[in-house]
Amino acid sequence: MSAVFEQIFQVGFLAAIIRIATPLAFATLGEMFSERAGVLNLGIEGIMLLSAMAGFTATSLSGSLWLGVLVAVLTGALMGAVHALFTVALGLSQHVCGIGVTLFCSGLAYFLYRLIFGQQSVPPSIKGFQPVPIPLLSDIPILGPAVFNQFALVYLAIIAVPLAAFVLYRTPWGLSVRMVGENPRAADSAGVSVIGTRFQAVILGGALMGLAGAFLTMAQFNAFTFGVVSGRGWVAIALVVFGRWDPWRSAGAALLFAFVDALQLRMQASGLGHIPYEAFLMLPFIFTIVAMAVMSRNAVAPSALLKPFRREER
C-alpha cells in the first residue's frame, strides 16, 4: 500500500493539481461574475468548447499563441453577450437559454473545425505554451517546480483570483455587480443600470470562460478533440456553489477538485487492481455532487439569481 501511496504523491503531483485547476479557476471565476450579477450561464460548457476551438484555429493558422488566446477570449465574450442578449435584454429562461447556447456553441465548434481542418486520422496539433520558470522562486524546493515553473496562463490564473476579489469587493463596478445580483430594484433606484451591469458581468464571465477553453487546447492538449472540455464547464458551475460565489473560495474549490482529479489520474496510472479506469473518471463528478449536498444547506446564492429584471414590472 505504501508503494502505491508513494507513487501517487510524487513531486509532479502538485504541478499536476495546479495545471488541472487552471482552466477550472478561469471558468469558475467567469461563472461567478455572471451569477453574482444574477445570471446563471449554462452556456459555459459550449462557450469553453467554441473558444477552445477558435483559439486553437487562430494559433494554428497564424502561429501566434497569444493571438489564439485573444481570439478565444473574444469568442467567449461574444458568446457571453449572446447569452446576455437572451437572458438579460429579453428576460428569457436562464436555464433553457444556457442549454441552447451550449448546444449552439458545441455544434458550431465541431462544424467549423471540420470545415477548416477536414477529417483527419491524426488530429492536427500546435506547439502550445511551454513552462516558463520564474527566476529565484522556481528554486524553492517542492513549491518552486510545481508553482513557479508553469505556463504563462497558469500565472495569469494565479493573478486572476486576487484581481477578481479586488474587482468584486473593492471597485464601484464590483459593487454594482453585487447590487444587481442581490437587489436589482434597489440598484435601479440608486441609478445603477441593471441591464448594462448584467451585460458587462456576463460578457466578462464569457471572456474568462474563453480563457479556460484556450488553456485546454493551447497549453494542456495542444490539439482540439471532441472530448476536450468533457464536463469541465458543468463542474465549474458546481464549484461556484461550492465556493459560495466568492473568488477565493471558488479558487479553493477548483484546487480541491483538481486534487481529486489528479489523485484519480494517479490511481489509474498505478493500476489499482482490475478496476476499469472509467470508475476513477467518475470520482470527481461524484465528489462534486456530494460536496454540493454538504455545502448547499447554508449556501447563499445571489438573491436575484435566475430572475429577469424588467423595469416596468413590479
Partner 1 sequence: MFRLEARTSTPAWFNLALPLLAIGATLILCSGLIAIAGAGVVEAYGVMLSASLGDSYAITETLVRAAPMIFTGLAVAVAFRAKFWNIGAEGQLLAGAVASCAVGAIPMPGYLAMLLMAVAGAAAGAVVAQVPATLRVKFKVDDVVSSLLLNSVIYYALMALIEGPWKDSFSGYPISPPIEDAANFPVLIEGTRLHLGVIVALVAAPLIWFLIARTTLGFRIRVTGENPEAARYGGINVQRVLLSTALLTGALAGLAGVGEVGGVHFQVMSDISPGYGYSGIVVAMLARLNPLGVVPAAIFLAAVMTGAEAMSRATGVPAFLSDVIQGTALLAMLVALLFTAYRVRRVGASR
Q: Nearest approach, Cβ of 240 to partner 1 (angstroms)?
A: 9
**Contact residues for 170 (Cβ-Cβ < 8 A; gap 6+):** none
Give the H/E segment covering residue 149.
Answer: strand 149-150
Residue 150 per-residue DSSP state: E
Q: How far is the CB of 41 from partner 1 (least distance, A)?
A: 12
Q: Is 297 in the site for partner 1 (CB under 8 A)?
A: yes
Residue 211: which of 36, 249, 220 has the closest Cα? 220
Nearest distance, CB of residue 86 and partner 1, angstroms = 6
Per DSSP, 133 falls in state E
Task: Select the residue interacting with partner 1 from 105, 154, 161, 265 (CB under 8 A).
Answer: 105
Residue 99, interface with partner 1 (CB under 8 A)?
yes
* Concatenated DSSP letters of 170-205: HSHHHHHHHHHHH-HHHHHHTT--HHHHHHHHHHHH
Least Å distance, CB 1 to partner 1, is 23
Angle at 53 between CA 48 and CA 56, to 5 degrees: 120
314 binds partner 1 (CB under 8 A): no
**In the block, residue with C-alpha cell 461550492:** 242
Residue 149 pairs in a beta bridge with: 133
Q: What angle do CA 99, 101, 103 make, to 5 degrees?
A: 70
105 versus 212: smaller Cβ distance to partner 1: 105
In the complex with partner 1, the residue whose CB is nearer, 147 or 249, is 249
Task: Kindly tell me which residue out of 3, 278, 300, 314 binds partner 1, with binding defined by CB under 8 A.
Answer: 278
Q: Which is nearer to partner 1, 135 or 274 (CB)?
A: 274
Which part of the chain contacts partner 1 (CB under 8 A), choosing from 158-166, 169-177, 230-238, 249-257? 230-238
d(CA 5, CA 39): 43
Name which of 225 and 230 has its Cβ closer to partner 1: 230
| Partners of 251 in the β-ladder | none
Asked if 140 is part of the footprint of partner 1 (rule: CB under 8 A), the reply reads no
Question: From the CB of 77, what's the least distance to partner 1, in Å?
Answer: 18
Listed ranges 11-19, 150-158, 187-195, 289-297: which one lies at the site for partner 1 (CB under 8 A): 289-297
Beta carbons within 8 Å of 283's beta carbon, 6+ residues apart: 260, 261, 263, 264
Stretch that binds partner 1, among 53-61, 84-92, 184-192, 193-201 (CB under 8 A): 84-92
Closest approach of Cβ 215 to partner 1, in Å? 20
Segment 6 to 45, residues that bind partner 1, using CB under 8 A: 40, 42
Q: Which of 66, 110, 173, 309 binds partner 1 (CB under 8 A)?
A: 110
Site for partner 1 in 38-77 (CB under 8 A): 40, 42, 46
Alpha helices (H) in the chain, listed in sequence order: 2-8, 12-36, 44-62, 65-84, 94-117, 143-147, 152-170, 172-182, 184-189, 194-215, 232-242, 247-269, 277-295
Task: Let me know: does 97 contact 87? Beta carbons within 8 Å.
Answer: yes
**Interacting residues toward partner 1 by CB under 8 A:** 40, 42, 46, 86, 90-93, 95-97, 99-108, 110-111, 114-115, 230-231, 234-235, 237-238, 241, 274-279, 281-282, 285-286, 288-289, 292-293, 296-297, 299, 310, 312-313
